[in-house]
Amino acid sequence: MKKAKMSEQELAARVITVLNAYGWQCYQEVQLKMGGRTLDILAVQRPLFIAIECKLRVNFELLLQAKGWLPYAHYVYAVVPGWISVWDDEAKIFKACGVRLLGMTEIESGHPMTHGPVDCWVPMNRHAKVEVWKPFLRPKYHAHTDGCAGCAGAPKLTHYRGTIIDLTEMVRNWPGIKVKTLVQKVPTHWASPKAAAGRIIELAAQGVLSEFHLEQDDSGEWCAYPNAKETLHA
């Protein structure tokens, strides 16, 4: 097999370009649990959810990564460069595990995943636990992971990151907002508004927050202000 001439990031970008053209919403580098596995691409066209892993070569690692998403998606696809026939031995092995192995050429040639809800080659998981993705399905999250899939060291779309994006948007719109008001207005992944306020103050003191900073007003209340240059993409 010849060495692939593209990077995983380029491969993922091509997959997303095709899917977007057919109306799919794509979320990149989604991490359900802190420190857990990260999905390259979550493609959504309600009511369907497709989990996609991209790799430059067909190997056991790709199969294991893709197979791990079976409980959480209606279909799971493993995408590699080139063309993959459904009669190839690799495709049959993936199929036996419930995963559809696809070549990029197939996708760009109009594979059913781009324009239809059914893939007859692998069964649909009608009992997929797609509700786990709900916290990530917000349009504004697209920009913060754009171009990240397949890129080593890319920022992950986690519950924490989603919280920071939401908080930053509120602070940008209401500079000087009190922290206790901020956490009442913005739902967070922390247990309670009180816990959220304490954690935000703690993170600010540690210098972890790069998107906004805190200052105390005359009454001693902590207030949030956007930084001169936000670095959500960093």
Query: How confident is the model at residue 229, as a pLDDT?
Result: 56
* Cα 44 from Cα 126, distance rounded (Å): 15
User: At residue 230, does pLDDT exceed 70?
Assistant: no
Going from N- to C-terminal start, the domains of the chain cover 8-145, 159-226
* Cα 57 from Cα 82, distance rounded (Å): 10
Check for a shared fold between 8-145 and 159-226. no
Query: How confident is the model at residue 231, as a pLDDT?
Result: 44
Per-residue pLDDT tens over the stretch 181-210:
999 998 887 889 999 999 999 988 888 888
CA dihedral angle for residue 43, residue 48, residue 49, residue 52, rounded to 10 degrees:
-60
With 0.75 as the threshold, say if the pTM is over it. Answer: no
Compare 112 and 48 and report the one with higher pLDDT.
Answer: 48
Compare 82 and 153 and report the one with higher pLDDT.
Answer: 82
Instruction: Record the tokens describing residue 110, joined without a space.
Output: 């109009």
Question: Which CATH topology does 8-145 take?
Answer: Trna Endonuclease; Chain: A, domain 1 (3.40.1350)
Q: Answer yes or no: are the C-beta atoms of 100 and 77 closer than 8 Å.
A: yes
Per-residue pLDDT tens over the stretch 124-170:
999 999 999 988 887 666 555 555 565 555 567 777 877 888 898 89
The conformation of residue 82, written as its DSSP 8-state character, comes to S
Q: In the structure, what pLDDT confidence band is assigned to residue 113 with cuts at 50, 70 and 90? A: low
What are the residues whose beta carbons fall under 8 Å from the beta carbon of 163, sequence distance 6 or more? 186, 188, 189, 190
Per-residue pLDDT tens over the stretch 13-67:
999 989 888 888 898 888 887 667 889 999 999 889 999 999 999 999 999 999 9
User: At residue 87, does pLDDT exceed 50?
Assistant: yes
* Cα 136 from Cα 152, distance rounded (Å): 21
Strand order in the sheet with 38-45: 25-31, 38-45, 48-54, 75-80, 100-103
Query: How confident is the model at residue 165, as a pLDDT?
Result: 83
Q: Answer yes or no: are the C-beta atoms of 36 and 156 closer than 8 Å.
A: no
User: At residue 117, does pLDDT exceed 60?
Assistant: no
Question: In sequence order, what are the beta bridge partners of 146?
Answer: none
CA atoms within 13 A on the CB side of 208: 11
User: At residue 93, does pLDDT exceed 90?
Assistant: yes
- Domain 159-226, CATH class in plain words: mainly alpha
Question: In sequence order, what are the beta bridge partners of 80?
Answer: 103
Phi, psi of 35 (to 5 degrees): 80, 0
Roughly what angle, to the nearest 10 degrees, separates helices 60-67 and 89-96?
Answer: 30
Instruction: Record the tokens describing residue 199, joined without a space.
Output: 């954690």
Query: How confident is the model at residue 123, as a pLDDT?
Result: 87
Q: In the structure, what pLDDT confidence band is assigned to residue 1 with cuts at 50, 70 and 90? A: very low
